């Protein structure tokens, strides 16, 4: 489906507005201010999909504004993995499809949100990048992903990670706006919101200046500049030393720790010398390393390292006093794991060959 003129993605919708803005909106229709508070609660807490369903509103007025867009997407498809992870393909108002993943555990419900449709970064090991880039998401389209998962699981979302499709730092303004709304309006604690980025010159500093109390992760993936350039094309314009320097500034400005993600690719970046080289770069840095064993995608022939190699890498980092954990992604067989988003459908919402 092509972008339709009737609903350009930038047209004002209700989702994304603050309680104050919603109050101004209802007042334009001659409604009393308390209706703004009710609308806020129905949008962000009850997940209303249409104004017609807001039963506390007078029936006649509901009918007048029934068509006004709230800004919710349609669930185009949902696949459920055996570990209960659910991957959704959501159809946006302009017809484009974006992915979001709901990851439940006993105590948490985490949503892995997309910040862009597709991704321009083209990291060699990531399926999203192979599909190209369409556009940035608006803040409300990010909020909608969280509300959709909350509605489908019939459970409150406790954590949100910006680790779906896209590079959040390329869409910083809308991502920061979404973080603030998730915190203030959907009422998720800032520390339970994680932004993950590959890093671009100047952008980490720009994020730091927002002084958010979020969890911040940088996709490092390599222990030296040469290797990083091979895996992440944009690294050519961003020397490792400069990236690490900006991360140090992030810690100074926000007083929050930076964690690093490191994908493990067998025989490529999982050797003992890579672990030692990485430890050297991170010495004295109050940090945490998250090792992500590679999730296979069809376009490239990297291999996931054996358990022995993964453990060896972690032990070496720990010996060097670097806090380290391994992140085994959930949702593998629904193609919902890290890096697998967008592998098996195109943007017209069809599975290739179907």
Compute the radius of gyration of the chain from its Cα atoms: 21
Among 292, 314, 322, 343, binds ligand SAH (CB under 6 A): 292
Nearer to ligand SAH, 94 or 261 (CB): 261
- Please name the residues in contact with 51: beta carbons below 8 A apart, sequence gap of 6 or more: 14, 57, 62, 65, 66, 68, 70
Residue 297 lies near ligand SAH (rule: CB under 6 A): yes
Identify which of 263, 231, 264, 243 has the alpha carbon closest to the alpha carbon of residue 123.
231
> SS3 for 292?
strand
With CB under 6 A as the contact rule, which of the stretches 47-55, 74-82, 123-131, 343-351 interacts with ligand SAH?
A: 123-131
Residue nearer to ligand SAH on the CB measure, 49 or 130: 130
From first CA to last CA, the distance across the chain in angstroms is: 16
At its nearest, how many Å lie between ligand SAH and the CB of residue 202? Answer: 17
Contact predicate 199/239, CB 8 Å: no
Taking the complex as a whole, the smallest distance from the CB of residue 136 to ligand SAH amounts, in Å, to 13
Report helix, strand or coil for 105. coil
3-state helix, strand, coil in the chain (%, to 5): 35, 20, 45
Closest by CA position to 124, among listed 301, 278, 273: 301
Tell me the residue number closest to ligand SAH, measured at CB.
339
Which residues, in sequence order, are bridge partners of residue 90?
75, 98
Provide the minimum distance between the beta carbon of 339 and ligand SAH in the complex, in angstroms, as a whole number: 2
Determine contact, residues 195/179, Cβ cutoff 8 Å: yes
Report in angstroms how near the CB of residue 324 gets to ligand SAH at its nearest: 15
Q: In this chain, which of 126, 146, 282, 343 binds ligand SAH, going by CB under 6 A?
A: 126
Place of tokens 């060896």: 312
The residue count for binding ligand SAH (CB under 6 A) is 17
Q: State yes or no: is 99 an active-site residue.
A: yes
Residues between 161 and 220 that touch ligand SAH (CB under 6 A):
163, 167, 196-198, 219
Nearest alpha-carbon partner for 263 in 205, 318, 316, 328 = 328
Residue whose CB is less far from ligand SAH, 99 or 167: 167
User: How far is 11 from 320, CA to CA, in rounded Å?
Assistant: 52
Identify whether the C-beta of residue 87 lies closer than 8 Å to the C-beta of residue 165.
no
- Give the shortest CB-121-to-ligand SAH separation in angstroms: 6
Scan residues 247-286 and list those touching ligand SAH (CB under 6 A): 261, 263
Report if residue 137 touches ligand SAH, rule: CB under 6 A. no
Q: Which range binds ligand SAH by CB under 6 A, 36-44, 206-214, 250-258, 288-296? A: 288-296
The catalytic position among 112, 126, 247, 338 is: 338
Considering only residues 55-114, where is the footprint of ligand SAH by CB under 6 A? none
Tell me which of 21, 99, 119, 151 is the catalytic residue. Answer: 99
Shortest distance, position 291 Cβ to ligand SAH, whole Å:
10
DSSP 8-state secondary structure symbol assigned to residue 242: H
Least distance between ligand SAH and beta carbon 62 (Å): 40
Is 294 an interacting residue with respect to ligand SAH (CB under 6 A)?
Answer: yes
Q: Which is nearer to ligand SAH, 34 or 328 (CB)?
A: 328
- For residue 138, give both structure tokens: 């608006």
Using left for φ > 0, alpha for ψ between -120 and 50, and beta otherwise, residue 300 falls in beta
Residues in CB range of 258: below 8 A, 6 or more apart: 216, 217, 218, 247, 250, 251, 285, 287
Instruction: Verify whether residue 119 is a known catalytic residue.
Output: no
Report the interface residues with ligand SAH, using CB under 6 A. Answer: 123, 125-126, 163, 167, 196-198, 219, 261, 263, 292, 294-295, 297, 338-339
Residues with a catalytic annotation lie at: 99, 338
């Amino acid at each position: 489906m092509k972008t339709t003129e009737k609903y350009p993605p930038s047209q004002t919708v209700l989702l994304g507005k603050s309680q104050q803005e919603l109050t101004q909106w209802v007042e334009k229709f001659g409604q009393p201010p308390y209706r703004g508070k009710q609308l806020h609660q129905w949008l962000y807490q009850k997940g209303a999909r249409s104004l017609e369903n807001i039963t506390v509103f007078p029936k006649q007025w509901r009918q007048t504004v029934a068509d006004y867009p709230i800004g919710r997407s349609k669930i185009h498809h949902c696949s459920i993995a055996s570990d209960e992870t659910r991957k959704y393909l959501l159809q946006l108002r302009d017809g484009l499809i974006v992915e979001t993943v709901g990851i439940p555990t006993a105590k948490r419900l985490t949503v892995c949100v997309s910040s862009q449709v597709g991704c321009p970064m083209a990291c060699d090991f990531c399926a999203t990048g192979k599909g190209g880039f369409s556009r940035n998401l608006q803040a409300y389209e990010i909020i909608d992903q969280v509300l959709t998962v909350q509605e489908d699981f019939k459970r409150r979302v406790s954590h949100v990670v910006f680790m779906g499709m896209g590079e959040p730092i390329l869409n910083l303004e809308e991502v920061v706006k979404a973080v603030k709304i998730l915190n203030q309006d959907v009422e998720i604690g800032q520390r339970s919101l994680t932004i993950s980025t590959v890093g671009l010159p100047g952008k980490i500093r720009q994020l730091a200046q927002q002084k958010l109390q979020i969890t911040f992760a940088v996709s490092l993936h390599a222990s030296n500049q040469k290797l990083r350039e091979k895996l992440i094309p944009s690294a050519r314009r961003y020397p490792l030393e400069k990236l690490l320097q900006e991360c140090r500034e992030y810690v100074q400005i926000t007083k929050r720790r930076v964690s690093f993600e490191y994908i493990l690719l067998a025989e490529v970046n999982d050797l003992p010398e890579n672990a030692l080289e990485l430890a050297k770069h991170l010495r004295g840095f109050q940090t945490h390393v998250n090792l992500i064993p590679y999730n296979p995608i069809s376009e490239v022939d990297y291999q996931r390292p054996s358990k022995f190699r993964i453990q060896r890498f972690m032990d070496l980092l720990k010996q060097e006093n670097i806090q380290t954990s391994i992140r085994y992604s959930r949702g593998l067989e629904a193609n919902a794991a890290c890096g697998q988003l967008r592998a098996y459908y195109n943007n017209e919402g069809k599975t290739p060959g179907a």
